[in-house]
Amino acid sequence: MSLPENTKMVQKSSTPWKWIRIVLPVVLLLAICTVAAAYFPKGARTAKVMGPAAMRTNVVRPASATATDPGPRPLPANAGGFLSKLSANEVQIEPSITTEFNRVHDVVVTSPTDGGLGPRFNSNSCASCHAYPAVGGSSPPSNPLFSVYNLKGASNTMPFFITTSGPILEARFINQPGTNIPDGNVHQNFTIKGRSDASGCNISQPDFNTASSQGNLVLRQVTPTYGAGLVEVIRNIDIVNNMNSNTSTKKTLGITGHPNHSGNDGSIQRFGWKSQIRSTLIAAAQQMNVEMGVTNETFPNEIDQTSGCVLNPVPETVTNFAPGILTEMFPSDPERAEYFTQWMAPPTPAASTSSTSNGKTQFTNVGCVYCHTTSFTTPPTSRPALGGIKINLYSDLIVHHMGPGLADGLAQGEAGPDEFRTSPLWGIGQRLFFMHDGRTTDIVSAIEDHFSLGNSTYPASEANQSVTNFNNLSSKNQQDLVNFLRSL
């Protein structure tokens, strides 16, 4: 949707007269440093068209923010509980699905629910990465991979991008190494080589250093799962109606955005940094194979089938048909991980203060709210605990152009290489790492990172005007907005 608009702008501004008519006022206004902010998005978009070097000299970054990040709210966790209205029977299986989410997987399968790690993996349990502020969340302050990568004698070296106090990141390659063939898949950090339960397996880790030096390495961090069961049942039509509301304001702000649809059924996907996954079931099954290497009934093929490394019959977790077992023992692991994430309640925000109330007003005033949609209401659901609930997720669940500063060069479905899903903000009060690659722990930097001028490859970030508006707020209003975010 935004691309045709950009093209139009190309054609319009390509004649010299229009060029001068548009740019001259911009230059003048910038020079007097008054209401220049209002022209930033247009200037940035023109920059893409006219040649970045020429135009970017005419556009300066907005004034820097004056607010400071109070930091994550301390524990106890404001999240990690199950939905309160689950039925007694559903409550009965909470321990079983929690056990599943916490299960540490070794290589050898000894029962239908354990084992299956590798041959390639990022970690050995869901909960190791979905950890903070409680099980189901995102990266904890101390990186858990250091206690995972050499387990049982594994001969892995730690990739350069994983640090003891940094976020958990997984790597993707833009192109298949050494080629121009598009890749985009996850390349797992570790292998089972050297583990005492994987003798005979001899595969090496990907060459992350070379990939990095060639600009071929993309990093993505862990997303929290709280409230996911509510997000997956939001009606598509509500997402579309929200997208089509406030259009004149959004146009002024330079905000467009569009859904990332699922291929055959045409519904709107909601999970992952680019909205590339439709549901908790598919997410659980895919993650189980991609992150841990555990093959399952939805993704039954090992990611690496090098001889000597396929050590279990596939799929490694299957529906358990043994008679006489408890009902909750029946399904295979992905279904249990599905229920765990599906039944997690959203994070609870802190009680509002005068500062956070004003912050919420400023959040709306500067325009954050036009992508970070405050709430949706779930429709009637067959699982009553999930239906008719107003959820304050602060996301429109669609993808937006975020400029070259955030672009990671990977297209997924209808999400372009510079587009990302509006991240839900619920729970960020206790979040430690921000943005898709966990590049900052400072929520003010995270706001500023939404600003990015266009270049010859990508258009400007759709957030430029809102970030500019934020930076133009008084120190007090900026701080209140930041305090509001940290109250979520």
Partner 1 sequence: MRKIEETQVQGTSGSATRRHIPYYLAVALLAAASVMALMSKPPVVHGSALATDPGPRPLPAAAGQFYSNLSSNQKSIENRLTQIFTEVNFVAGGPLVKTVGLGPRFNSNSCSSCHAYPAVGGSSPPNNPLFAIYQLQGATNTMPYFITTTGPVIVARFPLKSDGVTPDGSVHQMFTISNRSDAPGCTTMTQPDFNGAQSSNNIIFRQVTPTYGAGLIELIQESDILSNMNANGALKLSLGITGHPNYSDDDGTINRFGWKAQQKSLIYFSGEAYTVEEGVSDEAFPSENDESIASCLPPFPVSAGTNKTKGVPDDRNDTGEAPKLPVNFPGDLERFALFMRFLAPPTPVAPTSSTSNGLTQFQNVGCNMCHQISFTTPSSSIAALSKVKASLYSDLLVHHMGPGLADNVPQGQAAGDEFRTAPLWGVGQRYFFLHDGRTTDIVSAIEDHFSSGNSTFGNSEANTVINNFNALSQQNQQDLVNFLRSL
In the range 41-100, which residues lie near partner 1 by CB under 8 A? 87, 89-90, 92-93
Q: Which two tokens stand for residue 259?
A: 């859904």
Count other Cβ atoms within 10 Å, centred on residue 230.
Answer: 25
Instruction: Considering only residues 445 through 484, tell me which ones interact with partner 1, judged by CB under 8 A.
Output: none
Count other Cβ atoms within 10 Å, centred on residue 81.
Answer: 17
Rule CB under 8 A: choose which of 329, 437, 440, 476 binds partner 1: 329
Cα–Cα distance measured from residue 236 to residue 268, given in angstroms and rounded to the nearest whole number: 6
Nearer to partner 1, 147 or 185 (CB): 185
- Least Å distance, CB 273 to partner 1, is 11
At how many degrees (to 10) do helices 464-471 and 40-50 cross? 140
Instruction: Considering only residues 234 through 263, tell me which ones interact with partner 1, judged by CB under 8 A.
Output: 235-238, 261-263
Radius of gyration of the chain (CA): 24
- Least Å distance, CB 97 to partner 1, is 9
3-state SS string over 2-17?
HHHHHHHHHHHCCCHH
Three-state secondary structure call for residue 246: coil
- Least Å distance, CB 172 to partner 1, is 9
Count of residues of this chain found to bind partner 1 when the rule CB under 8 A is applied: 74
Site string for partner 1, 274-293 (x = CB under 8 A): --x-xxxxx--xx--xx---
Spatial CA neighbour of 167 closest among 238, 224, 98, 241: 224
Of 23-31, 50-58, 180-188, 478-486, which segment contacts partner 1 by CB under 8 A?
Answer: 180-188
Q: Is the CB of residue 386 less than 8 Å from the CB of residue 233?
A: yes
Would you count residue 413 as binding partner 1 (CB under 8 A)?
yes
∠ Cα 134 105 316 (to 5°): 125
Rule CB under 8 A: choose which of 66, 199, 202, 267 binds partner 1: 267
Rule CB under 8 A: choose which of 74, 76, 200, 266 binds partner 1: 266
Would you count residue 111 as binding partner 1 (CB under 8 A)?
no
Cα–Cα distance measured from residue 481 to residue 444, given in angstroms and rounded to the nearest whole number: 10
Three-state secondary structure call for residue 171: strand
- Least Å distance, CB 169 to partner 1, is 15
Rule CB under 8 A: choose which of 339, 370, 433, 434 binds partner 1: 339
Instruction: Considering only residues 363 through 392, tell me which ones interact with partner 1, judged by CB under 8 A.
Output: 379-384, 387
At how many degrees (to 10) do helices 333-343 and 94-102 cross? 110
- Least Å distance, CB 257 to partner 1, is 16
Would you count residue 19 as binding partner 1 (CB under 8 A)?
no
Nearer to partner 1, 69 or 100 (CB): 100
